[in-house]
Amino acid sequence: MGNNYHYYQENQEGLHSNPTAFDFHFRNEHFKFHTDDGVFSKNYIDYGSFVMLKSFQPNNLSGPILDMGAGYGPIGIVLSRLYRKEIHMCEINERAYALLNQNIKENKIENVYSYHSNLFEALSTDLRFSSVVTNPPIRAGKQVVYAIYDGAFERLLPLGELWVVIQKKQGAPSSKEYLTTLFGNCEIMDRDKGYYILKSVKQS
């Protein structure tokens, strides 16, 4: 990808399109994902998202799940199929958002809502979630990543959970510290090849 285009930007206009697709098998389920140049982890599901998928456990709250920064949809689509939960997915990148909707249809996922959104902007202000999952766009900078954490705290139901995947070398310790301050707690749920899965619970 050229230096003028980044997967966390909204507009990929002018970037060459080179669509492809791949199959993904997970827990006896089969998925097909369409991707393209200009989106995060074009060739296959990135290892951080894979670690999130194998670590995440839904709680017993009745609210929906939010996938923030959904990309072309691997986390939210897989979670929807596995747990039959209502899923909301937000993505700023126009090309990734179009692929997200294509992949929802390709995988016959129902009870899913997608938003072309800069962080939480397109979500109804009264929506509250049982869980928020995110593989945050580290290259967009700490300000954006922490805005995801802050927004998740505001949008979670009481006892709702924020799940984050982040590499140790890309700021897992500082994220854990920030989340501990914000939520009053942060637990390391998994470590795998330098990726950390962090979970914080909103206490009230």
34: CATH:
3.40.50.150
Radius of gyration of the chain (CA): 16
Q: Is 142 part of any domain?
A: yes
Q: Which residue has the tokens 């470590």?
A: 191
In a domain, 24, yes or no: yes
When pLDDT is averaged across residues 82-93 and rounded to a whole number, the result is: 95
Show the domain range for 119: 20-201
pTM assigned to the model: 0.92
- Taking residues 35-50, what's their average pLDDT? 90
Over residues 18-22, mean pLDDT: 93
Domain-embedded: residue 148? yes
Domain count of the fold of the chain? 1
**E strands present in 63-111:** 65-68, 87-91
Tell me whether residue 1 is in a domain: no
* pLDDT tens, residue by residue, 182-198: 999 999 999 999 999 99
* 7 occurs within a structural domain: no
Q: What is the pLDDT of residues 119-139, one digit of tens each?
A: 999 999 999 999 999 999 888
Does residue 33 sit within a domain? yes
Q: Looking at the domain assignment, is residue 14 inside a domain?
A: no
Q: How confident is the model at residue 1 (pLDDT cuts 50, 70, 90)?
A: very low
One-letter amino acid at 150 equals D
> In whole angstroms, what is the distance from residue 91 CA to residue 5 CA?
16
- Per the CB < 8 A criterion, the answer to whether 160 and 154 are in contact is no
Is the CB of residue 155 less than 8 Å from the CB of residue 120? yes
Sign of the CA dihedral running 58, 63, 68, 72: positive
Let me know if residue 15 belongs to a domain.
no
Phi then psi dihedrals of residue 99, to 5 deg: -65, -35
